[in-house]
Amino acid sequence: MKKLLFGLFLTLMAGGLMSWHWEQTQYSPVSKTDVIECLNMETLQAYQLEASTPAFAAMHITPLTVNPADLLGKMTSFEAADGKQANAYFIPSKKKSKKWLIVIQEWWGLNDHIKLEADKYFTALDDMNIMAVDMYDGKVAATPDSAMKLMRGADMGRMNAIIQGAIKQAGADASIYSVGWCFGGMWSLQTAILAGPQAKGSIMYYGRPETNMDKLKSIQCDIIGFFGNKDQAPSPTMVNDFEKNMIAAGKNLSVNRYDAGHGFANPSNPGFNPTATTDAYAKAIAFLKAH
């Protein structure tokens, strides 16, 4: 009887130890947000690697100096998702509105050109709050070489937190729209993904397309894109693949192609294409008004 009880005791002890070890090696479930953020890094890091090369910098010409007389907005601060302060050029709607347009800079930074673009959209859409986020935390590049160095040192996780903070700043019941150029075009699409059901429309002026099908399937708004056939970042092939992937994901993407090169919609770019820019801007405004 004693042997039987001793054997039962050993069995119970072994079972308890196995149960304790199993509990200690279990990890908390991974949330959908964590998965999306991880997937975000694939595209963002690919862009960062590309934009850190002399070949990419060579596609960019030093922008012309812009000296606006009067800007409509002011700089403001908000809390990013990482708990740190972030900044943005903000123009509040003339009347109370739950519509927010997040404007995202080129790889140069939040310069006066981007602030003027924010002013343009505000003038055309006066029932919308305009928020041009500062993705570089105050740093602005004036030459391709300095922009390349900024990109090499960029923290994509921090930028992700800035976009998430901007969405939160707009409010849980806000309708989120986004527009961006080049670096900002890529982030405009990522903003639509991060905003989830709050996203109502996203405008991409060039910018690296997303290739991950799970992310594309998560998009809950229409996308419109403007691309140059002479551009190599993204190249026409990348744009074609993006269009095919969006169709496969069952999403609405309107692609507009122009006989233009990289950065064709920037008036401070010596390679500025006014015909393509005028057409693209008219379509972008019509898109926002329709949504």
The domains of the chain are located at 32-290
Per-residue pLDDT reduced to its tens digit, 4-56 = 444 544 444 444 444 434 343 333 343 444 444 444 568 888 888 888 888 88
What is the reported pTM? 0.84
- Does the pLDDT value for residue 270 go beyond 70? yes
Per-residue pLDDT reduced to its tens digit, 101-124 = 999 999 999 999 999 999 999 999
Per-state percent for the chain, helix, strand, coil, to nearest 5: 45, 20, 35
Q: Are 262 and 233 in contact (CB under 8 A)?
A: yes
Per-residue pLDDT reduced to its tens digit, 190-237 = 999 999 999 999 999 999 999 999 999 999 999 999 999 999 999 999
Question: d(Cα 105, Cα 116) in Å, to the nearest integer?
Answer: 11
Per-residue pLDDT reduced to its tens digit, 147-163 = 999 988 899 999 999 99
Task: Find tokens 């500025």 and name the residue.
Answer: 272
Domain 32-290 has CATH 3.40.50.1820: yes
Question: d(Cα 252, Cα 6) in Å, to the nearest integer?
Answer: 69
Question: d(Cα 176, Cα 202) in Å, to the nearest integer?
Answer: 9
Picking from 188, 130, 200, 197, the residue whose alpha carbon sits closest to that of residue 159 is: 188
- How much of the chain, in percent, has pLDDT values that exceed 70? 86
